[in-house]
Structure 1
Amino acid sequence: MSITNRYLNQLGPQLTERDLAIIFEVGRFKLMSGGQLERLFFADCSDTSRARNRQAVLRRLTGHRVLARLGQRRVGGAQRGSASYLYTLDVAGQHLAQSTSSRPRRPYSWYEPTVAHLLAVAELYVNLTEAARGGRFTLLDFQAEPYCWRSFGHRTLKPDAFLQLGVIHPDGRRRKGSFFIEVDRANQYGTKIETKLPQYLAYYQHHRQAEPEQSFPRIVFLAPHEQRANYLRRLVAGRPAERRLFTAGLLDDPLGVLLGR
């Protein structure tokens, strides 16, 4: 199928608001599973119709070359059907992303070492979105790479994500928290992680000079298990400056760190 301007002009009016939102999110994270898309966009469906609706929508968008199912690859777990497949933007989706984002992502090229990391960042966003539906907080902002990167001088800080939460306390006080996120996959030890700490410290010093009135985001490492989280905590335990800026928690329970419970 040739993706021409005529084809895109004919396809555009057929897309729903949900279709455009799916294009935006898949473009933002480069790679998402069908299960993640179901949790984001089909949560208001009944238990019996949720999977059926998700299958129909993803099949239609794949047929229109809006989404591409990558390599018949299934993610782990008990999910079946399109929930267990991975999706990225196809050719039509890449063009249509221009209408859903001022800075659409480049096409994803399969690279095995990045798959788990991209899915973990997307999973963090999905988890926070689901938790925010309960009304305990508001997800004010979530920036994935490269839009969460921060340039200063001739250097660039490259966190995995940046997010802001708005929380209303029981006494009515409102508080906004900002966080740089490092999604740790327990496969980086020693030098590589320790070199990231001074990068954050350098950006912190730059921020204090450039914007002394602005608070600095908390830097959160999210690990896959408690043993790894403890390892990360030990890296900064003996360094007072870093201990004030950094904290670590579990990827499966990000609110435990972000909301300080």
Structure 2
Amino acid sequence: MNPTDTASLLMRLSERDVAILESLRAHRLLTTVHIRRLHFAIGHATIPAASGATLRVLVRLESHNLVTRLARRIGGVRAGSSGICWQLGATGERLLRTMHGQKQRRRYIEPSLAFTAHTLAVAELAVRLAELRDRQTIEVISIQTEPSCWRSFVGPHGSLEWLKPDLYAVTASGDYEDHWFLEADLATEHPPVVVRKAKIYQRYAATGAHQARHGLFPAVVWIVPDTARQETLQAALSADSAIQHELFRVVTVEEFDQLIASGGPDPPTARG
């Protein structure tokens, strides 16, 4: 796509159209409901009216191959349009790649069910952060999605390691900034896997790289579907004497908004 084609296409798109494409670029997959909550929350008298407007815009973008829907609906056919899951279409991918000056093409294919579920769970956290911002509960200073939020570091034995959070966010409430590494947990990983990842966080914290840049180390939060999973992960982390418990939190999805709004309330390492 050359600059002339890009300029011509952009002239036919609204700011909201481009914002929807950018959201899909950042999160890879979004449901119709996610897109409604992100981009159609204002200006409609009812949720059904906003939902209708959302779907009309998405169908228009789809007709130009800017977005495409997955064959599988989240929640099955009975979920209706709210269960449609969207990703960038080929034209949308080329447009944004040209706008951002990138050459490497990202291929969008029909993802697996497990990838879809986890990607949407991470997107849900980002949407909740945006809603807290829009309600003026917090200020969202930055959000980094995968792979931008990944960190490489040299481990204690001199080998290169990677820390791969699902999401990194910096929020502010009152006089404080709060830094977060967020992990969307769907209760599909065995607890020892979570403990091993907690130890990767500890090894990264031990390098001091993040603290040198930001003056603190983020709170690491696993967001789980229910209290049973919460208790399971808390027990697994507590049972390992090598775990630095002040770094980690395990909360349910229902508790997530309150955690972010309150800024913790601890640990002190996550506040600046």
Fold shared by both chains (TM-score > 0.5): yes
- 2:164 maps to a residue whose letter is K
TM-score (norm 1): 0.87
Deviation (angstroms), 1:100: 5.8
Distance change in 2, residues 1:84/1:101 (3 Å): farther
- Distance (Å, rounded) in 1 between the aligned partners of 2:181 and 2:226: 19
- Distance (Å, rounded) in 2 between the aligned partners of 1:124 and 1:232: 19
- What runs of 5+ residues in structure 1 fail to find an aligned partner? 169-173
Deviation (angstroms), 1:165: 0.9
1:19 aligned residue: 17
Which is worse superposed, 60-69 or 231-240? 231-240
- Distance (Å, rounded) in 1 between the aligned partners of 2:186 and 2:93: 29
- 1:59 maps to a residue whose letter is V
Deviation (angstroms), 1:240: 7.0
Kindly provide the CA deviation profile for residues 218-245 of structure 1, in whole angstroms up to 9, marking residues without a partner as x.
1001100011111111122243752010
For residue 88 of structure 1, give the secondary structure of its aligned residue in structure 2. Answer: strand
Residue 29 of structure 1, aligned match among 27, 30, 44: 27
Kindly provide the CA deviation profile for residues 39-97 of structure 1, in whole angstroms up to 9, marking residues without a partner as x.
111111221531221121101100011000111x222287533x321100011110122
- Asked if 2 retains the 8 angstrom alpha-carbon contact of 1:183 and 1:221, the reply is yes
2:252 aligned residue: 250
Deviation (angstroms), 1:210: 7.2
Distance change in 2, residues 1:11/1:102 (3 Å): closer
For residue 141 of structure 1, give the secondary structure of its aligned residue in structure 2. Answer: strand
1:171 aligned residue: none
Q: How does 1:156-175 map to 2 (within 5 A)?
A: 156-168=162-174, 174-175=175-176
For residue 148 of structure 1, give the secondary structure of its aligned residue in structure 2. Answer: coil
- Asked if 2 retains the 8 angstrom alpha-carbon contact of 1:201 and 1:242, the reply is yes
Deviation (angstroms), 1:6: 6.4
TM-score (norm 2): 0.84
Distance change in 2, residues 1:100/1:217 (3 Å): farther
- Asked if 1 retains the 8 angstrom alpha-carbon contact of 2:32 and 2:85, the reply is yes
Which is worse superposed, 189-198 or 93-102? 93-102
- Distance (Å, rounded) in 1 between the aligned partners of 2:210 and 2:133: 34
- Asked if 2 retains the 8 angstrom alpha-carbon contact of 1:149 and 1:156, the reply is yes
- 1:57 maps to a residue whose letter is V
2:202 aligned residue: 201
Kindly provide the CA deviation profile for residues 182-225 of structure 1, in whole angstroms up to 9, marking residues without a partner as x.
11110111432222121111101012697287200010011000
1:41 aligned residue: 39
1:155 aligned residue: 161
- Asked if 1 retains the 8 angstrom alpha-carbon contact of 2:28 and 2:119, the reply is yes
- Distance (Å, rounded) in 2 between the aligned partners of 1:102 and 1:217: 31
Which is worse superposed, 189-198 or 209-218? 209-218
Tell me how large the CA RMSD over aligned residues is: 2.5
2:64 aligned residue: 64
- Asked if 2 retains the 8 angstrom alpha-carbon contact of 1:27 and 1:105, the reply is no
Aligned residues: 252
Deviation (angstroms), 1:178: 0.3
1:142 aligned residue: 143
1:52 aligned residue: 52
1:107 aligned residue: 107
